[in-house]
Chains A and B, each alone.
Chain A
Amino acid sequence: MIALEDRTVDASSLATELERLGGRLMMLFATASADGGRELCALVRAHDAVISLRARLRGDAYPAVTRFVPAAHWFEREIHDLHGITPQGHPRLEPLVTHAPDEGDVKLFGEEDVGPTHRGAERLAGPGVFVIPYGPVRSGVFESAQFLVQTGGEDVAYCAQRLFFKRRGAERRICEVPLELAVLVAERVSGTSSIAHALAFSHAVESLANTEVPPRAQAIRRILAELERLYNHLEATVRECEDASLSVAQAQFAALKERLHRLAGAVAGNRYLRGTVVPGGTRVDLDQRAVDLIAATMSEWEREWRRVLALLLRTDSFLDRLVSTGPLSEEDARDFACVGPVARASGIDLDTRRDLPYDGYPAFDVAHHADGDAMARMEVRFQEVESSLELIRDAMGSLASGATHSEIGRLVHGAALGAAESPRGETLYWLEPDGDSGLRFCKLRAGSFVNFGIFNRVFDSQVLTDFSFIEHSLGLSPAGCDA
């Protein structure tokens, strides 16, 4: 349960108040206030607490937060798109989540004006400079997203990202469907991090209803969540090997990934672990057969993983492509409130499992790296594979006998925040109940939403052929970002 420190300000001073608070902006959204009006709500991680800053709106406009807090840039555009509220002075107030009907009207520039301390990308002009609109249908099996790459032929002058082709209205659906079915929507927001989304949603519902999760269910949740982290980190590794044209490495890591999915299918009935986590506990129980299968599979898996990884880290043609590629400075990562392996690889010490503890996670070493390049992001993932293996072993040892589910009673609180660390970073669900058994409002934020915001900032002195290395080292999920 996440304790929130409530504060109220006027919308006209929200920007200055957020700047004064410092810390990391987790979410910013518009919601209904208690008296039927509208208010903005900012969630900030500062001074070891989560501060919920509510700002009453008078009228349809307020001074933009983005001028002082760059991390607010996409949140404010979203608020403008969805609620018609204008953040005055926002550097780029064009549609973000709702696509303008005129596809041709896409501005390449503007994002670089965000933030007071950032120099913009070099504006290139002249003969021979052109823009490659890459996507939304891209070459290969990829999710839909568009990248506008400005180049003179080889060097990338600027790269702008366009997302939200896949917006399915998950927040609306979560409120529409009966509360006991809403977790099925949450686990389909980003299908490769079903567990993290189901966990974050369930944590919020459990907070609303003051429900304690039984210890056995907590241990099962940890096992499933770490299994999910493993196959997502493997996916990033497979993609990087493919980009480096290392066919054998690609096949070896893909085979390791496949084994994890087969294990998931055998113990949870679904290769992406869906239908397992529900508010109040879990729907699956791990019997002795499942426990033995996990133990046997993981010990062999671990041996194979170490062997193949050792080979990869001695392969110059792999290292050459990743070292110093796609650098993200610590300053940018902090200003834009990045999360997950992307933030940890740029020297930012954060991990939801440790910072907002849930489901009985024991102490573990949070991965970190200071280089901020593609290699650092992969090394953070390699470190996390090790800690995930250790956490699975620990959870298997602490599978206490007992129930796997507690009933969710009446929803007694006015609002709650649920969080979980997905393989891509902090996943958040903010829920406000309608009566004592339904939901009135849901705001979700996947790690990919914030991490996609810096996509245009990692192409300094990069060349076109680095594109896929950079994209896959960030390891983002358009489905999670678009929701």
Chain B
Amino acid sequence: MIRWFLRGVTRPRVTTCYPREPEPPPVGFRARASLPSEAVIDEAARRVAAICLPGALSVEPDGALALDEKRCIGCGLCAHALTMDAGYELARLGSSPVSLSPSFRRSLHIRHVDTGSDGAVEQEIAALLNPYYDMQRLGLFFTASPRHADILLVTGPVTAPMEEPLRRAYEAMPEPRVVVAAGTDACSGSIWTEPEVLGGVDRVLHVDVYIPGDPPTPIALLHGLLLASGRAGEASMPVKKSAA
């Protein structure tokens, strides 16, 4: 054990300073598509919408191209007509989100439920505990029981057999409870359709925070969780230093 101890204390610190300092994504990272400043219309809009598998791109009645951020999987097939964002802070609040009182904000417990994900988003969530992200420094913790949980973190489009377990996990939580949909499939159902998949998590529960991404990166998840706790934009918040 002494060898492990020495190994642990002799490694340099690798932990990100996010959110106090921004964490830049690598050049060329495909987080999601964004519409160019000049509107794409008519024939060009129809052509690019036709190759969007999850239906994130659609043509409005006036002929202009529209983008639904909750459906974009960042595949990059539209990159010839649109630009690909490399940003990490993609999370958005849902309509009338539950707001947690300030007393909750420094110690939030998260219960995860998988309703049919592809398995990668679970690994990105687990990565929040690795030395690079160390979620606990921000007062965020995973809990095994929904009874202790403040946040329900749902991954995956909702498959028929998972609808009931999802409801039961939600009902077991004490109020106030915040529902976070993590990943494009949880936000909108993504590329999946009925009958096997019901659609996004908001078909079953009211969603307070949407974190699109395929899969969402650890920083995108941290941003979404801070948003859920009413702490996003706290660029100057004190961050504990921690060793790698």
Contact = CB atoms under 8 A, between A and B. Distances in A.
Interface of A: 99, 103, 136-137, 139-144, 164-169, 172-173, 176-177, 180-181, 184-185, 188-192, 194, 235, 238, 246, 248-249, 251-252, 254-255, 257-258, 261-262, 265-266, 269-272, 274-275, 283, 307-308, 311, 314-315, 477-480, 482
A235 B193 CA distance: 30
Contacts of B131: 251, 254-255, 258
A167 B162 CA distance: 10
Interface stretch (B64-72, B152-160, B204-212, B223-231): B152-160
Q: What are the 10 tightest A-B residue pairs by CB atom distance, in nearest-first order?
A: A191-B118, A191-B120, A139-B144, A169-B196, A254-B130, A266-B26, A479-B119, A269-B30, A248-B8, A248-B4
B119 A192 contact: yes
Contacts of A272: 120, 215
Given A144-B162, A168-B159, 16 more contacts: A136-B162, A140-B112, A144-B165, A166-B162, A168-B157, A181-B53, A184-B75, A192-B123, A248-B4, A248-B5, A266-B29, A269-B74, A270-B214, A271-B124, A271-B217, A283-B76
Contacts of A165: 116, 159, 161-162, 165
Contacts of A184: 53, 73, 75, 191
A143 B114 contact: yes
25 contacts: A142-B114, A143-B117, A144-B116, A166-B116, A167-B159, A169-B193, A177-B191, A184-B53, A185-B53, A188-B73, A189-B118, A194-B120, A248-B7, A248-B8, A251-B8, A255-B11, A255-B132, A266-B28, A269-B76, A270-B30, A270-B214, A274-B214, A308-B7, A311-B3, A314-B3
B121 interface: yes
Interface residues of B, number: 66
A141 B76 contact: no
Given A184-B73, A191-B117, A235 B123 contact: yes
A144 B114 contact: yes
A169 B195 contact: yes
Interface of B: 1, 3-5, 7-8, 11, 14, 25-30, 51, 53, 73-77, 84, 112-127, 129-132, 142, 144-145, 156-157, 159-162, 164-165, 168-169, 190-193, 195-197, 214-215, 217, 244
Contact of A173 (B112, B164, B191): B191
A181 B76 CA distance: 12
A191 B215 contact: yes
Nearest to B166: A137
A480 B192 CA distance: 15
Contacts of B77: 181, 275
B142 A190 contact: no
Contacts of B75: 184, 274-275
A479 B76 contact: no
